[in-house]
A and B are shown apart, each in its own frame.
Chain A
Amino acid sequence: MRRSAFAAYHPFVNFVYFAAVLAFCMLWMHPVFQAISLLGAVVNAVLLNGRRAIRFQLRFMLPLFVIMAAANPMFSHAGVTILFYMKDGNPVTLESILYGAAASAMYVTVIVWFSCYNAVMTSDKFMYLFGRIMPALSLIFAMVLRFVPRYMHQLKVISDAQACIGRDYRQGGWIRRARNGIRMLSIMTTWALENAIETADSMKSRGYGLPNRTSFSIFRFDRRDRRLSACMAGLLLVLVLGAASGANAIRYFPSVHVQAMTAFSVLVYAAYLTLCLLPALIQTWEDWKWKSIRSRN
């Protein structure tokens, strides 16, 4: 897979970006903002995870979207535009259908953004950012991420060894299988605990917990990070001003109401579009630069 240009920036920039985008996505349910956020999420997810990953994701997301959008009018009867009455006499309103659609669109968008987050914020970046404020917790986090694949592998080793003496979880009747499975888990636990103590002693002998330690990855906050941060700060300022003026808000109940579009609200939309597409724009810019450098020689 291609290396993402946005992921090459400083972890702090990456983290602030995703925190802002996720928060805004959950906060603003204005249809224009939702459409922009969904577009940005899908474009970035395609660039980061490839077309197949997003197709797989959308296959799960679309039924979820339909179910959630349909469920809302069943439970919520607020709103003034009554379309028809259900069998039990409760009204189905246009407002609650629209609100259900908007809420489920928000949910789908959040999940697609999270898939981008997972691709960009790798665990060493997470460690780098939070290693200072919560060293013990981020160490636990990094160790667990490492242990899980290791234990799965060790389980395979134990299972092979047990199969040789007829005690695998695939051998025997139902109860015997269960008992063999539990025994394997028990063997694995003993191994894991002894192993862990050795790791802990090794950590201690190499100076874990002493001051002035360095981290594995070296990230420098350099000029392009500063430039991108300034750019993001400007966009965030415009968006917060927009939120303060009410351009980002929508009222669903009792009747749907949005502020009329003004020149300023168009500016806010443009800022949001730029923010949501920022990783994609950076990628395109880098690709263009790379191509132009190569074609010069």
Chain B
Amino acid sequence: MQQQEPLIRRRLSRRTPVAAALVLIVIPATILFGLFVLDDRKYMFVSVLIVLYAMIPFAMIFERRKPQGREIIVIAVLAAIAVAGRSAFFMLPEFKPVVAIVIIAGVCFGGEAGFMVGATAGFVSNFFFGQGPWTPWQMFCFGLIGFIAGNLYRAGWLRRSRWSLCIFGGLSTLIVYGGIMNLASVMMFAAKPSREAILASYVSGFWFDLVHAAATVLFLFFLARPMLEKLDRIKLKYGMME
């Protein structure tokens, strides 16, 4: 199963207005509200709101599409496997297979499904690991990686070969997940975000991110081919999604 699927132009028409309104109006309004009304000290509150806004267009487009039962349930299965995998390795911090499974979901079922699997896995796994202000951030990071993986695959940049997936997995964990989560921890933990605090967070978080990236590469190396085969088989057998 090494062949690439034909390139398909994505229709972005319906999401674009909502996303544009959020990015151009609601997010700046929240930041200004934080600056003037809340006196520019409520970083945690404002940042959590912005991350939640970022997920609204995905949720809207998914609901508007009226997804079929089979599609819903495959997304739920993949998210549950990611959560179960995360709890199976709970004793090793940052050694989690979530990103690997989210990337596989994105490649196999498209960016939207990848986003849903990632966001759901982030949300539900925190029911077992503890909810908190970091939940929306994690949901967003996992979801974004799935979305990027799906769209890069559609664009033909990401291939189904083991090495292509491993390289993408390692880089996306390090740059997307690590890059956003370290910034998020400054927003949540530090009283007043400063350049030094952000730098300190990146330096202290680097080793954790490296372990996480290594785990993603390892899981992709072993899981990518069998998982993709199984998912393709299910897709072919039942004629799902696309």
Report which A residues bind B (CB closer than 8 A): 23, 26-27, 29, 68, 71-72, 75-76, 78, 96, 99-100, 102-104, 106-107, 110-111, 114, 117-118, 133-137, 139-141, 143-145, 147-148, 151-152, 155, 178, 182, 185-186, 188-190, 192-194, 196-197, 199-201, 203-204, 208-209, 249, 251-253
Q: Is the CB of A193 within 8 A of B230?
A: yes
| B15 close to chain A: CB less than 8 A | no
B14 contacts across to A, CB distance below 8 A: none
Q: Supply 6 A–B pairs (Cβ within 8 Å), ascending by A.
A: A104-B189, A134-B63, A192-B80, A196-B77, A200-B69, A253-B192
Q: Which residues of B contact A114 (CB under 8 A)?
A: 130-132
Q: From residue B103, how far is it (CB to closest CB) to chain A in Å?
A: 15
Q: B223 interface residue, CB < 8 Å from A? A: yes
Instruction: State whether the Cβ of B183 lies closer than 8 Å to any Cβ in chain A.
Output: no
Q: With A26-B45, A72-B192, A76-B191 as known contacts, state yes or no: A143 contacts B73, CB within 8 Å.
A: yes
Within 8 Å CB of B69, what residues of A?
Answer: 200-201, 203-204, 208-209
Do A148 and B83 form a contact, CB below 8 Å, given A111-B132, A114-B131, A140-B76? yes
B128 within 8 A of A: yes
A148 touches B84 (CB 8 A): yes
Q: Are B226 and A249 interface neighbours, CB within 8 A?
A: no
A253 to B39, CA, bound (A): 11
- Are the C-beta atoms of B84 and A151 separated by less than 8 Å? yes
Task: Using known A-B contacts A135-B63, A148-B124, determine if residue A182 contacts B223 with beta carbons closer than 8 Å.
Answer: yes
Chain B residues with Cβ under 8 A from A200's Cβ?
A: 68-70, 72-73
Binding site for A on B (CB under 8 A): 38-39, 41-42, 44-45, 48, 59, 62-63, 66-70, 72-77, 79-81, 83-85, 87-88, 116, 120-121, 123-124, 127-128, 130-133, 188-192, 194, 196-197, 200, 222-223, 226-227, 230-231, 234, 238
> Knowing A26-B45, A134-B59, A189-B230 touch, does A151 contact B80 (C-beta < 8 A)?
yes
Given A72-B192, A118-B127: A193 and B80 interface contact (C-beta under 8 Å): no
* Contact (Cβ within 8 A) A144 B128: no
Note all chain B residues with C-beta closer than 8 A to A148.
80, 83-84, 87, 124, 128
Contact A185 B77 (CB under 8 A): no
Provide the bound-state CA to CA distance between A137 and B230, in Å. 24
- For the residues of B in contact with A, the DSSP-based class is helix
Given A110-B133, A135-B63, answer yes or no on A196-B76 (Cβ-Cβ < 8 Å).
yes
Interface centre among A104, A143, A209, A251 (most CB of B within 10 A): A143
Shortest distance from the beta carbon of A165 to any chain B beta carbon, whole Å: 19
Please determine whether B77 and A192 come into contact, CB atoms closer than 8 angstroms.
yes
Residue of A nearest to B85 (CB): A185
Q: A103-B191, A151-B84, A182-B223 are in contact. Are A141 and B124 (CB under 8 A)?
A: yes
**Chain A residues within 8 Å of B39, by CB:** 249, 251
Supposing A75-B197, A75-B200 touch, asked if A209 and B231 sit within 8 A by C-beta, the answer is: no
| Cα separation A139 to B116 with both chains bound (whole Å) | 12
Bound-state Cα–Cα, A134 to B67, Å: 11
Do the beta carbons of A78 and B192 come within 8 Å of each other? yes
For B63, give the chain A residue with the smallest CB separation: A134
A139 CA / B81 CA spacing, docked (Å)? 17
User: When the two chains form their complex, are residues A27 and B45 in contact, meaning their CB atoms are under 8 A apart?
Assistant: yes
* In the bound complex, CA of A99 to CA of B190 (Å): 10
| Given known contacts A107-B189, A134-B63, A75 and B196 CB-to-CB distance under 8 angstroms | yes
Q: What's the Cα separation between A182 and B85 when bound, in Å?
A: 11
A185 CA to B78 CA, complexed, in Å: 12
Residues from chain A with a CB closer than 8 A to the CB of B59 are: 134, 137
Query: Shortest CB–CB separation between residue A139 and chain B, in angstroms?
Result: 6
Contacting residues, chain B, for A209 (C-beta < 8 A): 66, 68-69
How near does chain A come to B223, taking the closest CB pair, in angstroms?
7
Question: Nearest chain B CB to A281's CB is how many angstroms away?
Answer: 25
